[in-house]
Amino acid sequence: MRIFQRINNKLNWSKRRYLALILGMILIGDVSLSVYQTVKPLPEGVDFTGKLHHAEVDFIADQTFTDAQGKKQYQQHIFDTMLSMVAEAKSTIVLDMFLFNDQLGKTAAPHRALAQEMVAALIEKKRRHPDMSITVITDPINSYYGSIVPEQDVLLRRVGVEVIETDLIPLRASNPIWTGFWSLCCQNFGNSPGQGWLPNPLGPDKLTLRSYLSLLNFKANHRKTLVVDGASGWEALVTSQNIHAASSAHDNVALRVKGPAAVDVLNTEQSIAKMSGGELPYVLIADHSSNPTLPQVQVLTEKAIERGVLSLIRSANANDHIQMLMFYLSDRDVIEALKEAQLRGVKMSILLDPNQDAFGRTKNGIPNRQVAKELHDAGMTVRWCNTTGEQCHSKMVIRQSGATQELILGSANLTARNLNNYNLETNLRVIGPANAKVFVDAEQYFNTTWSNPNGEQHSLPYEKYADASSLKYMVYRIMEWSGLSTF
């Protein structure tokens, strides 16, 4: 104390100068942490590029549309495929799902209680096979960042299913303006499940202030995968679909793959479990000989997805055709690559969600409408999914190149948050002969949505949602650059 007193006497500073020093040190700490949070080392196993494996792979899709008589039609197949995989599993099930709940928000009927059905299927499987290893990995959004203990977690743990809520702290910050301050002041504070008092836009449960503050980090385990050891060996499903009642009518896409590529998916999930204090079976499979006539499949996670998409676009030439179906498109590297491909004479068909529907609420069209104008002005053909309450939630890019095709599909939107090692994401890349069934089915799905056959209404022309607002474009660019966004 005498040392501090001597320093104070020598400096003879006023209280205002001391306050300024303290605030300056806090500001320096905040800025330093903000920078560090964007560049800190990635958790082990994140940003994974797998080997190319010849594999059996199937394309699966969900579509909601209006038929020629004006009646809404729902053709949903992905979730039923998940249930069949769970039923066929022999010893291991690993499910990683961003949204795993049946909250509806303001979503109007019809809806299907997907989480309730999956929980029932997993519980029944565990009861019939007590020694089976079943793990469910979820994002903290399902507990509203600690405001509640999800009922499905309680039911699953009661029968011995391991439920792992992803620890997002090791991930880099997509919103560094907030995360620097958060990590300095509040990151290690606990939460109080059941003690919330603030309104919840997604469901009936009240939220704590800390949950809202945690949400502002905009971090997520956005993966949507299922891995099982089925009757014919290891198989995985990688999809854009959430197990979430309010999402049950969305358009979505998925790939179901067998063999070593499925094991690669499993081992990428091991990294997330380990990061979050859990553990999964670790399986090693030699890259044994397989049928060379089958397409090749590659697992991509996080920024590896961006590298794959950019390679697909940049390798296209004037004789190629790129078809893109995307819920969110905003990443500047991808947009510039598309514009460069357009200049090379590559045929472009860009199909986007209009960003108007969000679980019963209306959105302002950012970012897709602003990006659509940019692409349209560059000469590309852009259309909109004809959404009427549901979302066009698919994330898929196809490159047709003569007798060869390439397909990239999965959980990742083409945004900075999804592609730059902020969110956790999983996609599959498929390369092979254009007549392979996986490509025929994927192209048929895209063309149906694009061309509205038989009087059906799947999509609308660009003019329907064209938005020339310079202000909104500027807002989009600031949000994409800064991370102050939910896309």
What are φ and ψ of residue 34, in 5° steps? Answer: -60, -45
Specify whether 467 is located in the same domain as 434.
Answer: yes
CA distance 317 to 347: 9
Report the CATH number at residue 415.
Answer: 3.30.870.10
Report if residue 425 sits inside a domain.
yes
Specify whether 129 is located in the same domain as 251.
Answer: yes
Specify whether 257 is located in the same domain as 371.
Answer: no
Tokens 């948050």 -> residue: 417
C-alpha count within 13 angstroms, C-beta hemisphere, residue 49: 7
Specify whether 86 is located in the same domain as 216.
Answer: yes
Instruction: Count structural domains, the chain.
Output: 2
Report if residue 21 sits inside a domain.
no
CA distances to 38, 219, 487 from 483, in Å: 11, 10, 9
Give, as one character, the DSSP assignment of residue 74. E
Report if residue 41 sits inside a domain.
no
Predicted pLDDT at 31: 72
pLDDT in tens, 30-61: 677 777 778 888 998 999 999 999 999 999 99
CA distance 433 to 423: 32
Burial classification of residue 75, based on how many CB atoms lie within 10 Å of its CB (0-12 exposed, 13-18 middle, 19 or more buried): exposed
Contacts of residue 56, Cβ cutoff 8 Å, sequence gap at least 6: 257, 258, 259, 294
Tokens for 346, please give them: 């590559």
Structural domain ending residue among the three candidates 276, 306, 324: 276
CA distance 301 to 261: 13
DSSP reduced 3-state for 195: coil
Tokens for 31, please give them: 């800025």
Specify whether 264 is located in the same domain as 316.
Answer: no
Taking residue 185's Cβ as centre, other Cβ atoms within 10 Å add up to: 13
Report if residue 346 sits inside a domain.
yes
Cβ proximity of 61 and 80 under 8 Å: no
Specify whether 142 is located in the same domain as 90.
Answer: yes
Specify whether 238 is located in the same domain as 370.
Answer: no
Q: Measure the CA dihedral 220/225/229/231, to 10°.
A: 160
C-alpha count within 13 angstroms, C-beta hemisphere, residue 344: 18
Predicted pLDDT at 8: 55
Predicted pLDDT at 3: 56
pLDDT in tens, 117-127: 999 999 999 99
Predicted pLDDT at 196: 81
Specify whether 313 is located in the same domain as 259.
Answer: no
User: What's at 171, amino acid-wise?
Assistant: L
Structural domain ending residue among the three candidates 224, 242, 276: 276
Which pairing describes strands 133-138 and 92-97: parallel, antiparallel, or unpaired? Answer: parallel
Report if residue 9 sits inside a domain.
no
Angle at 389 between CA 360 and CA 214, to 5 degrees: 40
Domain that holds residue 477: 297-482
Tokens for 404, please give them: 């060869």
Report if residue 424 sits inside a domain.
yes
Structural domain ending residue among the three candidates 241, 276, 311: 276
Dihedral-angle region of residue 378 (phi above 0 means left; psi in -120 to 50 means alpha; beta otherwise): alpha
Specify whether 200 is located in the same domain as 334.
Answer: no
Taking residue 460's Cβ as centre, other Cβ atoms within 10 Å add up to: 15
First to last CA, the chain: 52
Predicted pLDDT at 243: 97
Predicted pLDDT at 386: 94
Specify whether 333 is located in the same domain as 261.
Answer: no
Specify whether 270 is located in the same domain as 419.
Answer: no
Report if residue 187 sits inside a domain.
yes
Kindly report the pTM of this predicted structure.
0.92
Sign of CA dihedral 262, 264, 270, 272: negative
Residues in the chain, how many?
Answer: 487
Specify whether 67 is located in the same domain as 145.
Answer: yes
Considering just the CA atoms, what is the radius of gyration of the chain in Å? 24
CA distance 205 to 308: 40
Predicted pLDDT at 237: 98
Mean pLDDT for each 10-residue chunk of the chain (487 residues)?
56 65 68 76 93 96 91 93 97 96 76 95 97 96 91 95 94 85 76 84 83 88 96 94 93 96 94 90 63 94 98 95 97 97 96 88 89 96 94 96 95 96 97 96 96 93 95 92 85
CA distance 116 to 113: 5
